[in-house]
Amino acid sequence: MNVRQASAGDSDRIREIAEQSFQASYALSPLDIEGIIQLEFTSDRIGSRLDDGLILVAEGDDGAILGFVEGVVTDEGCGEIRWLHVAPTERGYGVGTELFERVLTALRERMVDEIHATVLADNQEGGEFFQQFEFESQETVDREFDERTLTVELYRNEHIEPKDEDE
Please check whether residue 162 lies inside any domain of the structure: no
Containing structural domain, residue 36: 2-156
Tell me, yes or no, whether 49 lies in a domain.
yes
Please report, for the domain that includes residue 125, its CATH number.
Answer: 3.40.630.30
Instruction: Give pLDDT tens digits for 113-166.
Output: 889 998 888 777 888 898 888 889 888 888 887 677 888 888 888 655 544 544
pTM: 0.87
**CB under 8 Å to 135, separation ≥6 — which residues?**
117, 155, 156, 157
Is 54:103 a contact under the CB 8 Å cutoff?
yes
- Domain contains 165: no
Q: Is residue 147 part of a domain?
A: yes
- Name the maximum alpha-carbon separation found in the chain: 49
Q: Please name every residue paired with 4 in a beta bridge, in sequence order, or none if there are none.
A: 57
What pLDDT score was predicted for residue 90? 95
